[in-house]
Every structure is written in C-alpha cells, then in structure tokens.
Amino acid sequence: MNIKPLGERVLVEPVKEEEAVKGGIIIPDSAKEKPQEGKVIAVGTGKIDENGKAVPFNVKKGDIVLMPKYGGTEVKVDGKEYQIMREDDILAIIG
Amino acid sequence: MNIKPLGERVLVEPVKEEEAVKGGIIIPDSAKEKPQEGKVIAVGTGKIDENGKAVPFNVKKGDIVLMPKYGGTEVKVDGKEYQIMREDDILAIIG
Amino acid sequence: MNIKPLGERVLVEPVKEEEAVKGGIIIPDSAKEKPQEGKVIAVGTGKIDENGKAVPFNVKKGDIVLMPKYGGTEVKVDGKEYQIMREDDILAIIG
Amino acid sequence: MNIKPLGERVLVEPVKEEEAVKGGIIIPDSAKEKPQEGKVIAVGTGKIDENGKAVPFNVKKGDIVLMPKYGGTEVKVDGKEYQIMREDDILAIIG
Amino acid sequence: MNIKPLGERVLVEPVKEEEAVKGGIIIPDSAKEKPQEGKVIAVGTGKIDENGKAVPFNVKKGDIVLMPKYGGTEVKVDGKEYQIMREDDILAIIG
Amino acid sequence: MNIKPLGERVLVEPVKEEEAVKGGIIIPDSAKEKPQEGKVIAVGTGKIDENGKAVPFNVKKGDIVLMPKYGGTEVKVDGKEYQIMREDDILAIIG
Amino acid sequence: MNIKPLGERVLVEPVKEEEAVKGGIIIPDSAKEKPQEGKVIAVGTGKIDENGKAVPFNVKKGDIVLMPKYGGTEVKVDGKEYQIMREDDILAIIG
C-alpha cells in the first residue's frame, strides 16, 4: 500500500520509545509534550515558497528525525502506525 | 448533475469505512478526528499562488485520497454524499 | 433597481429549498450549516490579487451555485431576498 | 466644514430608513445586523495596494451605497450624522 | 522639549471637547468610543510600504484631524497632554 | 560584559522615573500602561524588510527614547537593569 | 549522537543558573519569565526569507546567547539537556 503525502507533508513512522533510548534521545518529561523520534518513509509531492517557486525538502527517505508528539495526523496502514505532518514542524535530523 | 468546485476546491466521495479496511487504511481511534478515505470526483476551476500565477492540482479525478474527517462541506447529489474541500487540506494520495 | 456588488463580491438569489430538490441537490442535515443553492444575479466591480492585478471571476450571471448558508449579507430588493458574498466563499457551480 | 477621510476611507451619510424604503431596499430583519443605505460625501486621500501602487476607488461622490450597519465610525458635523469607513467594507453601489 | 515619533507614528495634541464644538465636530455618544479632534504636532521618521519603499505621510504639522478616542499612547510633555499613534489609525483631516 | 541584541532588537536602559521628570516627560497615569523613558545602549545585528533587504535603524546609541512600559524583556547585567525590545515598539526619540 | 536542527532552528545548551551569574547576567525575577543563558551547539539547515532567498544566521556555533525561558522544545541527548528553538526567538549574543 503506497502513501504519497500531499504538498509539503511528510510520512513518518514513529520509533517506539524503548528503541529510541538506544538511539540516545530521551526527551525529558517537561510540562510540554515530549518530542518523539521517527523515521521518514516518504516526502510529499513538493514544497513551494510564497512566490510559487519549488523548494527542496530538508529531509529525505530513511532520515531519523525528532518531531513534536502531536504535530501530525495519525494513520494506520497494513497494521503499522504512521504520522503525516508538514516538514516545517519537524525539529531536527538526528543520528 | 454536474458539480464544478470553485477555485482550489476539490469534490471527493468518501469511501465507506468497511470498504476502506479492504484498502488497508484503518485510522486509529486516537483523540483526534480519524482521517477518512475518499475518491476524487472533480477538481476546481483552478489554484493560484500569492502572485496570481496558476498552480497545477496535485490530485486528479479518480485518485484515492486521505482527508481529515471534517475538513470540508457535506453535500448530497442524486442521493450520494460528497465533500467539497480545499486541496491544501487533503493529506495524501493512497493506493 | 440595479445593485452593483463592490470589489470581489457577488449578488446571489437563494433558490427556495423545495425548488432545490428538483435540481437534485439536497444537503444533508449535518452538524454544520447546510450549504444552499442560488442563482448569480450580478458579479462585483472586480477582483484583484495581492499584486493589484485584475483577476477574472470564476462565476458569471445566471450560474447556479452552491454557497454556505450564512456566508453573505442578506438584502431585500423590490420584495426579493438576495445574498451579497465574496466569490471566494462560493463552493461550486452546479447544473 | 470640510472632512477629508484618510487613506482608503470614505465619508458616507446614512439615508434615513423610511427614505431607504422608497429606494426599494429593505434589509430583512435577519439575525445579522441589517446593512444600511448611504450617500457617498467624500472619498479618502487614496488607496494603495500591497506593493504601494495607487488603486482607484470603486465608489465616487454622490453614489448611493449599501453598507454594514456598524462598519464605520460615527461622526456628527454641523448637526448631520456621518459614517467614516474603509471602502473595502462597502457592500454594493445601488440605484 | 522635542519629540520625534518613530516610523509611521504621529504626535497629536487632542483639542479640548468644548473647543471641538466650535469647530463643528461633535461626535455622537454612540455605543462605540467617540472619536476626538486633535492638532498634528510632529510626523514620524518615515513610513515604508511592504517592499521597504518610503511612502509620504497624508497628514502634515498643523493639520486638524479626527482620531479614535483610545487609538494611541498618552504622553505629557511640559505639562501638555499628547497622543502618539500610527498614521493609519487617523480617520480624517478636517477644517 | 558586551550584549549584542539580535536582528531588529535594541538594548535600552530605562531612565529612573524621578530623573525622567527632569527631562519633562511625565506620562499621565491613564488606564493604559505608562510609557517610560530610556537610553539606547546598543542596536541589533540588523533590520531586514519583507524582501530580505537591509533597513537602517531609526535610533542610534545614546538616543533618549520613549517606550511602552512592558514592551520588552528585562535583563540585568553587572547589576544594571536593561530592556531588550524590537525597534518597531519604540514610540519616539525625545530630547 | 549528532543533531542537525531543521530550517531556521538552532540547538542551544542552557547554561546552569549558577554558572550564568559568573557571566554577569542575572535576570530579574520579574513577572515575566526570566530569559536564560545558553551556548549555541548547532545551527539549522538554513534560513530563507519570504522570497525563498537564503539568509545567513546571526549566531554561530560556540556563541553565548540570551534566550526566553520557554522559547524552544526541550530534548535530552546522551544525558545532556538542550533546547531547539527558532533563531528569531533568541534575544542577544553576550560575552
């Protein structure tokens, strides 16, 4: 089942919290929502700036990223959970 | 009965939830509204960017898409239910 | 009595609900306001984009359109009720 | 006493409701504020678009217009009541 | 004591209400704040449009203007009360 | 200890209220926050307009300015209290 | 573990409050959140202005900066706490 995010959106598979610890990123239990780790599965059909000019994505398929906990929309495909979110909302590339 | 969405809007026929499962997309019952599947019936009269330049649609007639549950306006035509929404609000093309 | 809407506004005569059914469009009684059918009576003095460039209207006099129930301002002229609204708020051209 | 509205503002003298009826415009007593009729007394020092380019007014001195009830600021000059409002808020030219 | 308003701001000395009546402008006691008369004492260091281009002021030193009651910031200099406000908030030049 | 404000920010040292009176500026105790006097200590790394073009500061080191009471962020350096604020929020240059 | 902030974000390591005092910056316990000191660990993939043009960062790796207490998102890497924030939210470079 192929999912092509639309526009500047990105499809990310959240990394389970226990696995995340191996990667060294534990997010402190601060008042604000803990950001979570995830793997980029697919980038969108394309980002355009305010002048309609195409802008390249900063992330690519396979990158491990740090994203806000509730930044995207949850979807489940073939039993796996994913998040669809706008690239601007992704915090960092880690690894 | 022909419906031509205006501007950057798109006419989508929501796919019934049971049919959607065959397609592999079940949307977890998270706190947020479950996105739903739908089929693109017609695209609008045209998208323009901030400089008034025409911008092509990302979706086309027949695409199966993933959209937020209450992203559009419901209309019923000849007994069938449709949603009219802005293309920017569509999450992904699937299939 | 002539009414010339200003700027990007459009004058629309709402079609009575019973007549609308003949046209095949019944709008489900969903939680959100049911959109309504209407006939375009006059288009405004002109639409301009963010750069001040003139942009053509998508609708023209006589078109049957679908519009949000409370999208415009109600006015009564010679006993007939009309709505004045911005073209961007019109959902689709039907017929 | 001369009043020169500033920028894209317009000075309008509201037409008394009884007189308005002669003109054929009665505004239904809907939930929303009834728009009112008025006569343009003076246009502002000038409208400019987002690029600083001068844009002509759509209305001119003497036009009879339709405007939202509380769209402007009320002022009284030599005993007469006027409204000062932005041209964009005027709904239509009538007559 | 010299005061040079910054950017597109203007320094205005409110005209006492009794004096204002001589000038013919009485502002009806409507629900909204009564606009008030004032004399322009100094214009700002300069207005620029969205493209950074300098734009001339519409008002000049000595003009009598009409301004919203609480549109600016009150300051007292050498015992006299003034308002500092953005030129866009001034309603009209009168006199 | 050197502080270089970032972007269009400015570092200002508020003038004590008693000293301010010598300068002739007493701000009436109106409902709104009394603006306060201050001395510009340092201007930021640079102002840019919406097109990314550099724009000169209106204020310079040493200017006495009038600023809204709670317009900036308070910081204490070597025992002295300062405010860091955006130049746009400064009301006027006085003196 | 390498962290590359995305877009115009910056990775900052907050300086402990006691260490901050050595640096001379104590932030008064005012009603508003006390800004805090931090050291820039990494700058983002790039800042672009409204026209899509690349804009250089004002801060660089190693700078000591002043930032709002809750301006960013907290993350912990290999036991160390960091903040990821947009460069625009950083108040000043100090040292």
Which stretch of A72-76, B2-6, E18-22 has the lowest confidence by average pLDDT?
Answer: E18-22
Q: Are F81 and E63 in contact (CB under 8 A)?
A: no
Chain D residue whose CA is closest to E59: D6
Identify the pLDDT of residue A27: 46
Domain contains B1: no
Identify the pLDDT of residue D63: 96
What is the pLDDT confidence band of residue B95, given thresholds at 50, 70 and 90? confident
Mind listing the pLDDT tens digit for each residue in B16-40?
765 554 444 444 444 345 788 999 9
In degrees to the nearest 10, what's the CA dihedral of C14, C17, C20, C26?
120
Identify the pLDDT of residue E48: 86
Residue numbers in C near B46 (CB within 8 A):
58
Domain contains A4: no
Give the gyration radius of chain G's Cα atoms.
14
Hey, are the CB atoms on B55 and A48 less than 8 Å from each other?
Answer: yes
Q: Other C-beta atoms within 10 Å of D26: how many?
A: 16
Domain contains F78: yes
Average pLDDT over every residue of G67-86: 87
Domain contains B39: yes
Hey, are the CB atoms on C4 and D93 less than 8 Å from each other?
Answer: yes
Question: Token digits for E76?
Answer: 């007292």
Distance CA(E86)–CA(C74), nearest Å, equals 35
Residue numbers in F near E76 (CB within 8 A):
25-28
Domain contains D81: yes
Residue numbers in A near G48 (CB within 8 A):
49, 55
Residue numbers in G near A8 (CB within 8 A):
none
Q: CA of G57, closest CA in chain F: separation in Å? A: 10
Hey, are the CB atoms on D94 and C3 less than 8 Å from each other?
Answer: yes
Q: Which of A11, D18, F22 is nearest to E77 (CA)?
A: F22
| DSSP per-residue letters across C7-71 | TTEEEEEEPPHHHHHHTTEE----SSPPPEEEEEEEE-S-EE-TTS-EE--S--TT-EEEE-TTS
| DSSP per-residue letters across F21-80 | HHTTEE----SSPPPEEEEEEEE-S-EE-TTS-EE--S--TT-EEEE-TTSSEEEEETTE
Of E27, E32, E92, the CB nearest to D9: E92
Q: How many CB pairs under 8 A join A and G?
A: 72
Identify the pLDDT of residue D48: 86
How many separate domains does chain A show? 1
What is the pLDDT confidence band of residue G90, given thresholds at 50, 70 and 90? very high
Q: CA of E60, closest CA in chain F: separation in Å? A: 17
Domain contains A71: yes
Residue numbers in G near A27 (CB within 8 A):
74-76
Question: Token digits for D1?
Answer: 């006493």
Q: Are F36 and F27 in contact (CB under 8 A)?
A: yes
What is the pLDDT confidence band of residue C80, given thresholds at 50, 70 and 90? confident
- Highest mean pLDDT, choosing among E16-20, F39-43, F73-77: F39-43
Domain contains B79: yes
**What domain range is B47 assigned to?**
9-94
Chain D residue whose CA is closest to E69: D73
Domain contains D3: no
Mind listing the pLDDT tens digit for each residue in B39-76?
999 999 998 887 778 899 999 999 999 998 877 898 88
Q: Does C52 touch chain D (CB under 8 A)?
A: yes
Distance CA(A17)–CA(A38), nearest Å, equals 10
| Domain of residue A87, CATH code | 2.30.33.40
Q: How many CB pairs under 8 A join A and B?
A: 72
Interface of F with E in 19-38 (CB under 8 A): 23-28, 30, 32, 35
DSSP H/E element including D56: none
Of G25, G58, G66, the CB nearest to F7: G58
Residue numbers in E near D52 (CB within 8 A):
49-51, 53, 55
Question: Token digits for G13?
Answer: 């390591």
Q: Which of C3, C8, C18, C21 is nearest to C80 (CA)?
A: C3
